[in-house]
């Protein structure tokens, strides 16, 4: 089936056989061995087969089939059930998916939904280090968690580049409506990424401190390393969100400042134009008896007065920075 990515048996940290999914239950009960099964968007029938093989809890299987769960870790009898949110950049967009993990004595089952990188690389790297893989199920769980969290970093770096571009555009005053939409989209993506990463802090704490099935004392320090990576991811997200907020607020201040400058210029020119308008309006009235109408020097005198007042106003506004 295409939804069954891999199904293999391991002994003493080494892959010994590829299995049919219907045979896994018996193999997992053998001492010193465990089965690692990888599923991608499996059908309900496939999950039922897996459930029958390993006795998985109905609620956990239902969550794994329907997806759309928040990151969490739960214990059902002797089975550890974990939900991780995955993220990838696909065609310049951040897409999110889910991975559901069942861990019990003798088995690790991963169920991937949506945008999620294949765990083939995790499997290959683990098989190259049998001295680690021989620890068994809890080391596989650590390797998967570490892979998921590490895949957040390329997204963080890509967003950092975009934020830097936005910051340069804001400083240069070349912000367009498209840039504002870009800021809003990045803030939404960062919020979704934080919702994926933030709950992992609690998950890692539980794996380090609580007595959970299949988590041996020797492997718990490895989860501390994942915890540190999650802290770094969350801090980076917060910093980027603050930078985007600062860029948006800076753009608003610059736009407001530019608007004030335009308003001052308009007010200054309106004041300058008010002088000839007022004088022309006065002498444009059609009354028979008006002073200075019959003076030979009246017309040039008025033009000189208008020019002088306009020049004086222009000089004053220029000095005050309004023009």
Fold classification of 1-122 is Beta Polymerase; domain 2 (3.30.460)
The residue ranking higher by pLDDT, 249 or 58, is 58
- Kindly report, as residue ranges, where domains of CATH 1.20.58.340 are found in the chain: 260-320
Q: What is the mean pLDDT of the chain?
A: 83
Determine the pLDDT at residue 142. Answer: 92
Determine the pLDDT at residue 226. Answer: 92
Determine the pLDDT at residue 30. Answer: 76
Mean local confidence (pLDDT), 164-177? 78
Determine the pLDDT at residue 109. Answer: 93
Report, at the CATH architecture level, how domain 260-320 is classified. Answer: Up-down Bundle (1.20)
193-218: pLDDT as tens digits: 999 999 999 999 888 877 777 788 88
Beta-bridge partner residues of 264: none
Residue 80 has pLDDT above 80, yes or no: yes
Determine the Cα–Cα distance for residues 145 and 226; give it in Å rounded to an integer.
7
Determine the pLDDT at residue 320. Answer: 74
Residue 84 has pLDDT above 60, yes or no: yes
Strand order in the sheet with 107-114: 14-18, 4-11, 33-40, 107-114, 93-104, 79-90, 72-76
The CA-atom distances, in angstroms, between 57 and each of 27, 50, 74, 155, 211 are 20, 11, 11, 34, 20
- Kindly report, as residue ranges, where domains of CATH 3.30.460.20 are found in the chain: 1-122
Is 0.75 surpassed by the pTM of this model? yes
Coil/strand/helix, residue 121: helix
């Amino acid at each position: 089936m295409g939804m069954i990515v891999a199904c293999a048996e391991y002994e003493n940290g080494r892959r010994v056989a590829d299995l049919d999914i219907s045979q896994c239950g018996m193999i997992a009960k053998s001492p010193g061995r465990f089965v690692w099964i990888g599923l991608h968007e499996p059908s309900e029938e496939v999950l039922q087969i897996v459930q029958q093989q390993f006795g998985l809890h109905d609620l956990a299987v239902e969550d794994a089939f329907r997806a759309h769960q928040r990151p969490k870790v739960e214990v059902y009898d002797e089975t550890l059930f974990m939900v991780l949110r995955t993220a990838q950049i696909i065609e310049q967009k951040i897409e999110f998916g889910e991975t559901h993990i069942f861990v019990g004595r003798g088995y690790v089952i991963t169920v991937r939904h949506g945008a999620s990188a294949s765990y083939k690389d995790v499997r290959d790297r683990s098989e190259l280090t049998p001295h680690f893989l021989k620890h068994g199920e809890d080391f596989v769980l650590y390797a998967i968690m570490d892979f998921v969290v590490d895949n957040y970093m390329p997204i963080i770096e890509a967003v950092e580049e975009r934020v830097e571009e936005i910051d340069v555009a804001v400083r240069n005053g070349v912000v367009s409506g498209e840039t504002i939409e870009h800021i809003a989209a990045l803030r939404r993506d960062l919020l979704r990424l934080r919702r994926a990463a933030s709950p992992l802090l609690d998950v890692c704490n539980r794996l380090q401190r609580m007595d959970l099935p299949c988590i041996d004392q020797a492997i718990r320090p490895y989860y501390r390393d994942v915890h540190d990576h999650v802290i770094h991811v969350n801090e980076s997200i917060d910093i980027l969100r603050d930078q985007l907020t600062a860029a948006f607020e800076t753009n608003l201040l610059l736009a407001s400042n530019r608007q004030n400058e335009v308003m001052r210029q308009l007010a200054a020119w309106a004041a300058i134009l008010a002088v000839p308008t007022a004088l022309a309006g006065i002498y444009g009235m059609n009354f028979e008896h008006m002073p200075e109408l019959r003076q030979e020097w009246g017309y040039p005198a008025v033009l000189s007065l208008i020019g002088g007042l306009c020049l004086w106003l222009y000089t004053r506004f220029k000095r005050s920075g309004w023009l």
